[in-house]
Structure 1
């Protein structure tokens, strides 16, 4: 069994310092095989905020944890249009990327991270045609036995919003990206952005086949919680066709899992379905 901790929307600069310490303690105790960070590391892409995020990640890596990180829209300067247009991810690259790979692959696990935050977007994200083509090219190199996972900050499908009847849009380029996802045999798509955790087998307006599971993470450490506690997801991959998703939450104290994990399995026809709740 392989384990992945999915943390997202840390928003250093609008974070709860105590919750950051509790998150560090939880990850150190769980020791997942991979920590996936699905964007919005900072609140306003300032140097000091990136420095805080970098220190947090460096400490995790110093304890032997492996990280795969993608940026979010908050990691692009909002109030500096020249930087936003020409060097949108310069500070992210300087402080965070620093040679870290957005691709992880072994015989059981293949994970690709793509940056959906760009200088021409403000809140919403997009994937370029070059990025979409990289989905097929990357996973073509993965063993058939590996569970295939794509990570972006912005979700690939529209999702229910905070208010009743509200729908949060998918990133631009989603239809082409989903075709590439299906063609590459991707099993799971992990994202953040909306601060609302959950598991979705399809989107409400942009349908996808049931062979793709969308796992959303809440905000791990920010006080911008949308009336939900701070949280992260722990995914246990029993096999490429069987996944358990467990939400760990903090109400200002130590992170814990309040309930049973949700289990999902893929049928012989390739569709995901819940096997327990």
Structure 2
């Protein structure tokens, strides 16, 4: 059995330290095969927040892939946001949008953040280039593997209190389903969800993680545990007491 921990929206700078310690304890005790972090590692994309996030992820001592969240792009420094948005990532760069290949499981990254849009910058957007890169990775996946796409914003709304309103999300979901992706993992909304979505003649599973920050909404801090055996995927929403 492959076990993955899906965590999101830690928001270093506004993290819940007890929740982070609880997650760390679970990782060190249970040793999942990999960790999928679906964005918003930081609160304001500050250097010290990225330094703390980098040290935290390295300290987990597990294979990790990280998606960029809207909070991970500079908010107030327009020049940095447009031209040097990843300058403060430091050692995290090697983990950013990193495909993972595990026995019978493939993790495909999909970027849903954008440096500029004529609306609330927190909302999602799938560019043609981002989708093209994800589809290229998915094309090379073992056809027998369970294909998991990881992104920050839900591609379509999941009925949570917070919204993503992801531009191009529905079209991206259709393209991913056609490419035989099985699962899409996301964060952003700070509440977990697990939904089946029918796209043409395929069903694709949409799974969202909660948050390990102090910025909770309907659910206490938590993360998802994914248990995979062959084509079977069981999801446990683990919530801190």
TM-score, normalised by the number of residues in structure 1:
0.81
Please list every run of at least 4 consecutive aligned residues from structure 1 whose deviation after the TM superposition is greater than 6 angstroms.
none
Distance between the aligned counterparts of 1:223 and 1:36, measured in 2? 20
Distance between the aligned counterparts of 2:164 and 2:115, measured in 1? 18
* Counterpart check, 1:225 vs 2:222: no
Structure 2 regions of 5+ residues with no counterpart?
none
TM-score, normalised by the number of residues in structure 2:
0.92
Pick from 71, 74, 89 the counterpart of residue 71 of structure 2.
74
Distance between the aligned counterparts of 1:130 and 1:201, measured in 2? 26
- For the residue of structure 1 that corresponds to 2:143, the secondary structure is coil
Give the 3 Å change call, closer, same or farther, for CA 96–155 of structure 1 in structure 2: same
User: By how many angstroms is 1:27 displaced?
Assistant: 1.1
Larger Rg: 1
User: By how many angstroms is 1:169 displaced?
Assistant: 4.0
What does the per-residue CA deviation read over 1:180-213, in whole Å, with 9 as the maximum and x for residues that have no partner?
Answer: 20121000000000001010113xxxx7456100
After the TM superposition, which residues 47-58 of structure 1 pair with which residues of structure 2 at under 5 Å, given as runs? 47-58=47-58
User: By how many angstroms is 1:100 displaced?
Assistant: 5.6
Give the 3 Å change call, closer, same or farther, for CA 208–90 of structure 1 in structure 2: farther
- For the residue of structure 2 that corresponds to 1:119, the secondary structure is coil
CA RMSD of aligned residues (A): 1.8
Distance between the aligned counterparts of 1:49 and 1:157, measured in 2? 29
* Counterpart check, 1:118 vs 2:110: no
Pick from 80, 84, 87 the counterpart of residue 84 of structure 2.
87
Distance between the aligned counterparts of 2:100 and 2:160, measured in 1? 31
Distance between the aligned counterparts of 1:46 and 1:188, measured in 2? 32
Structure 1 regions of 5+ residues with no counterpart?
252-277
- For the residue of structure 1 that corresponds to 2:203, the secondary structure is coil
What does the per-residue CA deviation read over 1:144-193, in whole Å, with 9 as the maximum and x for residues that have no partner?
Answer: 2211010000011112132xxxx724411113311220121000000000
Structure 1 equivalent of residue 143 of structure 2: 144
Distance between the aligned counterparts of 1:198 and 1:227, measured in 2? 11
8 Å Cα contact 2:174-2:199 kept in structure 1: no
- For the residue of structure 2 that corresponds to 1:127, the secondary structure is coil
User: By how many angstroms is 1:108 displaced?
Assistant: 0.6
User: By how many angstroms is 1:33 displaced?
Assistant: 1.0
What does the per-residue CA deviation read over 1:64-101, in whole Å, with 9 as the maximum and x for residues that have no partner?
Answer: x1111111000001111111122223223x34123666
Distance between the aligned counterparts of 1:145 and 1:218, measured in 2? 29
Structure 1 equivalent of residue 18 of structure 2: 18
Give the 3 Å change call, closer, same or farther, for CA 238–99 of structure 1 in structure 2: closer
Pick from 191, 199, 202 the counterpart of residue 196 of structure 1.
191
8 Å Cα contact 1:106-1:142 kept in structure 2: no
- For the residue of structure 1 that corresponds to 2:189, the secondary structure is coil
After the TM superposition, which residues 21-40 of structure 1 pair with which residues of structure 2 at under 5 Å, given as runs? 21-40=21-40
Distance between the aligned counterparts of 2:94 and 2:150, measured in 1? 19
